Amino acid sequence: MVLRELYLKRIRPFYHSEFVKILTGVRRCGKSTLLRQISEELIASGISSDKIIDINFENYAYNSLRNPDAFYRHVEDRIEDATGKTYLLFDEVQFVDGFERVVNSFRATHDVSMFLTGSNSKLLSGDLASELGGRTLSFRIMPFTFGEFCDFRGVQGAARASLFDEYLRWGGFPLVCAERDEASKAVVLDNLYDSIVLKDVILRNKIASPHTLETVLNFVVSQSGSTLSGRTIAASLSDQNRKVSAPTVYDYLRAIESACIVGKATRYDVRGKKVLAFEEKLYVCDLGLFQQRKSPVAEDIGHALETLVFNELVARGFKVFVGKIDAMEIDFMISGPEGKAYVQVAYMLASEKTREREFGSLEAVRDNYPKYVVTLDPVTRNRNGIIHLGLIDFLLDEGLLVLG
């Protein structure tokens, strides 16, 4: 089992906090395992197991607790039997109708530290946000990063680079990573995709036309890293004789994003220092899904690498935007508690035109935040204060990317 230190180190400071810790992410990305690791760390720190109430709502043993009254009574009785702070860990809590009021009741009436997981980003909004009134901390959980994939395989040091092509092709879903031959990986990935679409999009959102939803989703996944809107998607599908209206596409995009299948990078005007409410980019949460859905004849290495870096940045806890400066684009402007930085991603800087494009947009930015170009070039060359990083080094060493 891979210790998911990338997330644990950000969650640990709040283990005993009254804030409700919310872990969201696409189905089967490892949220349940992470919750189990939190429980194990609490016990290892001296917390008695009878002060930890751990319920996985996907486990049929707890099926009766999907009723909010039964859920409340079960937990309330156990809290009353404990002394001191109680730790509540509820996995896939969205299966409980009206869980928001129950959760808020525990928080308001008892000394508890609470952790919730769900494969729907709506956990962060709507009724829960209203009930808890800002007393939440959210953490987006992703499938394995490349570094975690190497740990999963037990490969260390320079040998980790030999796993890169496999990761680029099949992504980081733990169930897929556990398979060794490509035929088995493909079967697991296809079934995982179907499960996500059925349970977290179609059924949860009561989609009237599943076929149309799948058409939109396949298009969005295959175009990861592209600038998309409801109108452009509707127009593209209409050109392919698959009619769907822009309002329907927007509804489906909200459902797809809520299921954490894709992440959104909003465009940011670097000169004007403001977020722009148009031309957003969408990135699929896992490269395996992208590779399975993209055109077999298209050369998409650029979009694949951009998606890879976007997901890595999200996994590290950064807020990620697409930078705009005049007519030029910066792949990512990222922000975190330590400051900001800019990141350009490219396959290789094989020509002067490519070098000018990747470095030039960063050179046009007149602030002093760190600037990086990340590529697969075997040799890196910095330029005018802009740091050139090898992609594999960037993925395996968090310390190379510094905010300022």
For 204-244, write each residue's pLDDT tens digit: 888 888 988 888 999 899 889 888 888 888 888 876 777 88
- Is-contact 224 284, C-beta < 8 A? yes
Q: Is the pLDDT at 297 greater than 70, yes or no?
A: no
Residue 105 near residue 96, CB atoms below 8 Å: no
Return the pLDDT at 401. Answer: 97
**Which residue would you say has higher pLDDT here, 126 or 305?**
305
Q: Which residue did the predictor score with more confidence, 38 or 98?
A: 38
What is the model's pLDDT at position 1?
A: 85
The tokens for 326 are 């005049």
Highest mean pLDDT of the ranges 58-62, 81-85, 246-250? 58-62
By C-alpha distance, which of 224, 376, 216 is closest to 300?
224
- Reply yes or no on whether the pLDDT at 256 is more than 80: yes
What is the distance between the alpha carbons of residues 128 and 96, in angstroms, rounded to a whole number? 12
Tens digits of residue pLDDT in 345-393: 999 998 999 999 999 999 999 899 999 999 999 999 999 999 999 999 9
Residue 280 pLDDT: 86
C-beta pairs of 245-248 under 8 Å, 24+ apart in sequence: 248/212
Q: What is the pLDDT of residue 298?
A: 59
Q: Residues 316-330: pLDDT tens digits? A: 999 999 988 888 899
DSSP 140: E
pTM of the model: 0.94
**pLDDT reading at 281 higher than 80:** yes
Exposed, middle or buried by CB within 10 Å (0-12, 13-18, 19+), for 166? Answer: middle
Structure tokens at 1: 């089992």
Cα(288)–Cα(169) distance, integer angstroms? 6
Domains along the chain with CATH numbers: 5-140 (3.40.50.300), 146-400 (no CATH)
What does the block give as tokens for 151? 């740990």
CA distances from 139 to 110, 267, 292, 316 (A): 24, 22, 27, 10
Q: Which residues pair with 91 in a beta bridge?
A: 56
Amino acid identity at 61? A
Cβ neighbors of 110 (< 8 A, separation 6 or more) are 79, 86
SS3 labels along 180-226: CCHHHHHHHHHHHHHHHHHHHHHHHHCCCCHHHHHHHHHHHHHCCCC
For residue 224, give the amino acid letter. Answer: S
Contacts of residue 2, defined as CB under 8 A and 6 or more positions apart, other chains included, come to: 144, 148, 151, 152, 174
pLDDT tens digits, 127-152: 676 777 778 899 999 999 999 999 99
- For residue 377, the model assigns a pLDDT of 95
